[in-house]
Amino acid sequence: MKPQVGIEALAFAVPHRYLDIEDLARARGVEPAKYTAGLGAKEMAVPDPGEDAVALAATAAARLLRRNDVDPARIGMLVVGTETGVDHSKAVASHVQGLLKLPRSMRTFDAQHACFGGTAGLMAATEWIASGAGAGRVALVIATDLARYERLGAGEPTQGGGAVAMLVSERPEVLSLDVGLNGTCSMDVYDFWRPHGRREALVDGHYSIDCYLDSVAGAYRGWRERALAREVVRWGERTPSEQLARILYHVPFCKMAKKAHARVRRCDLEDGAGGATLSPEALDGASRSETSYGTQVATSLGLNARVGNAYTASLYLALVGVLHAEARALAGQRVGLFSYGSGCCGEFFSGVVGEGAARKLALADVDGVLAARERVSMEEYERVMAMPPGEPPQATPAPGTFRLVGIRDYRRVYAEG
Q: Which residue is nearest to ligand CAA (CB)?
A: 38
Sign of CA dihedral 254, 50, 360, 121: positive
Q: Judged by CB, which is closer to ligand CAA: 212, or 349?
A: 212
Q: Judged by CB, which is closer to ligand CAA: 156, or 173?
A: 156
**Spatial distance between the Cα atoms of 199 and 389, rounded to a whole number of angstroms:** 8
Closest contact distance (angstroms) between CB of 18 and ligand CAA is: 18
Q: Judged by CB, which is closer to ligand CAA: 223, or 311?
A: 311
Residue 86 is classified by DSSP as S
Taking residue 95's Cβ as centre, other Cβ atoms within 10 Å add up to 25
**Spatial distance between the Cα atoms of 143 and 120, rounded to a whole number of angstroms:** 10
**Spatial distance between the Cα atoms of 86 and 76, rounded to a whole number of angstroms:** 24
Q: State yes or no: is 83 an active-site residue.
A: yes
**Spatial distance between the Cα atoms of 321 and 366, rounded to a whole number of angstroms:** 8
User: What is the contact surface with ligand CAA in residues (CB under 6 A)?
Assistant: 31, 33-34, 37-39, 115, 154-155, 158, 191-192, 203, 205-206, 208-209, 212, 250, 252-253, 255-256, 309, 311, 340, 342
| Backbone dihedral angles phi then psi of residue 220, each to the nearest 5 degrees | -65, -45
**Spatial distance between the Cα atoms of 68 and 148, rounded to a whole number of angstroms:** 32
Q: State yes or no: is 115 an active-site residue.
A: yes
Q: Judged by CB, which is closer to ligand CAA: 91, or 254?
A: 254
**Spatial distance between the Cα atoms of 59 and 151, rounded to a whole number of angstroms:** 28
Q: Judged by CB, which is closer to ligand CAA: 253, or 402?
A: 253
Closest contact distance (angstroms) between CB of 235 and ligand CAA is: 30
Closest contact distance (angstroms) between CB of 257 and ligand CAA is: 10
Going by C-alpha positions, the residue among 241, 218, 217 that lies closest to residue 228 is: 241
Closest contact distance (angstroms) between CB of 143 and ligand CAA is: 12
3-state secondary structure at position 209: helix
Going by C-alpha positions, the residue among 212, 171, 203 that lies closest to residue 8 is: 171
Sign of CA dihedral 69, 73, 78, 84: positive
Q: How many residues are listed for the chain in this entry? A: 417
Q: Judged by CB, which is closer to ligand CAA: 138, or 256?
A: 256
Catalytic residue among 16, 95, 113, 250: 250
Catalytic residue among 95, 115, 261, 267: 115
Q: Judged by CB, which is closer to ligand CAA: 50, or 85?
A: 85
Catalytic residue among 8, 43, 83, 242: 83
Q: State yes or no: is 250 an active-site residue.
A: yes
**Spatial distance between the Cα atoms of 105 and 92, rounded to a whole number of angstroms:** 17
Residues in a beta bridge with 347: 184, 339
> Is residue 177 classed exposed, middle or buried when 0-12, 13-18 and 19+ CB atoms within 10 A define those classes?
buried
Cβ atoms of residues 322 and 300 within 8 Å? yes
Closest contact distance (angstroms) between CB of 150 and ligand CAA is: 10
Taking residue 377's Cβ as centre, other Cβ atoms within 10 Å add up to 12
Residue 33 is classified by DSSP as H
Residues assigned a catalytic role:
83, 115, 250
